Structure 1
């Protein structure tokens, strides 16, 4: 199931479709506010996971913030990190190189889930910043795969649109950070079919540069996600308005790819 920067039916990622690549320079610098909230949610969702059941699948691993968080929560876990964006993978590889022991435990798949060779069982899955990019057929395929591969009771952590939050069609500043003598900012502006992220670099009151990243994203919420996942045999809990934990009900027989 292709993520948004990869054409369907292709052998590997196409740089022309790397919509997240332009954000890679700024992402980690400005991610702290989001991860101050996401990190504890992920820790709780992964509590009790048995790393001996199989590796953890991180779908849309990005710069590796979720990979690092999963390894902190589960020190013995092995990770399959799937990321189609070449720009994001540069940051991910740097994180692996600079974090002792991480490179030994993380396998990076340069592409989409279709490019990953998965084992019969997974101990858990992290799917952050992905589901809104998939159409209904892509989501259904994902739920089926998770139901088949997750160990009984193992979690899949998914984020969606927060329908309880106020509309963000007006520009909203998400984060700001001082970097040397410069100020970095991230802004979000919503639309019917997604939102636009804008990164700005300022020196005092002077705007030095700006980079805009349009992000298509469906409006699926947790209720609709839970109904879809239930069809595949996954139970859903909702620890936060935009955060779902799916768990397999019982072992399922694997299906062969066509």
Structure 2
């Protein structure tokens, strides 16, 4: 399968760092209960490791499983993890997609940001069910809504820029409704300029499911999860207290029968 992030990986942190800076505290707080379990945090679509870095700094002893199918992204992810020996000792990198990853029976936390757009309704149902079945009591998942609506065109806007020597690197995002209702064509433009002249540019387009917060709430609630907003585009998910109690009772019953 072609690496759709082959060109964009170089520019990913330029947009990702300013995105996560105001959201880092909410992310760290959501993952904090994992410290009370012996279960790892799963980062689905770990990218270049920005979430791994934030969670790793906030929770010093919790293992992290970083799932990232893009080789270009994993190169940056591995470099970031390797730069911190303490982090490297507890971060496992899986070169897979979620469906092909062997997961533990209990999850201390899950981050699925920038990935819901790739999942079909059936895939999302499986994800919600996975969280309902395997999130440890009191632990949470963090997911995000799509950046653009499904019903109108958004002209490309610059979402990140940085200067490297004599050049300025920029990344732009735009969208328009796709043929299938609920989907968008997301366009990414990566551009390098010198003296305001473009010296290198790549343009890629991919289709996304335009997941809004209302849809996330409806689908997650139907799967037995509690959904709370943690920002305009972030939501935390947890197993409802009743479902959590039933899961613990079932586990205790099974243990007694043994």
- Alignment equivalent of 2:156, drawn from 160, 167, 171: 171
Deviation at 1:190, TM superposition (A): 1.3
| 2:69 is aligned with 1:103 | no
Range with greater deviation from structure 2 (139-148 or 109-118): 109-118
Distance 1:244 1:31 in 2: 18
Distance 1:170 1:184 in 2: 19
* Cα root mean square deviation, aligned: 2.0
TM-score, normalising length from structure 1? 0.86
Deviation at 1:162, TM superposition (A): 5.1
Kindly indicate whether the alpha-carbon contact (under 8 Å) linking 1:183 and 1:201 is maintained by their aligned counterparts in 2. Answer: yes
| Greater radius of gyration (CA) | 2
The aligned residue for residue 75 of structure 1 is: 60
Distance 1:32 1:216, change over 3 A: same
* Greater relative CO (CA pairs within 8 A, separation 6+): 1
The aligned residue for residue 6 of structure 1 is: none
* Structure 2 unmatched runs, 5+: 178-183, 252-258
Is the partner of 1:237 in helix, strand or coil?
Answer: strand
Please identify runs of 4+ aligned residues in structure 1 that moved more than 4 A.
Answer: none
Deviation at 1:37, TM superposition (A): 2.5
Bigger proportion of residues as helix: 2
Distance 2:7 2:100 in 1: 23
Deviation at 1:200, TM superposition (A): 0.6
Is the partner of 1:178 in helix, strand or coil?
Answer: strand
| 2:219 is aligned with 1:234 | no
* Structure 1 unmatched runs, 5+: 1-13
How many residues were matched structurally? Answer: 238
Map of 1:1-258 to 2, 5 A cutoff? 14=1, 16=2, 18-161=3-146, 169-192=154-177, 193-249=184-240, 250=244, 252=247
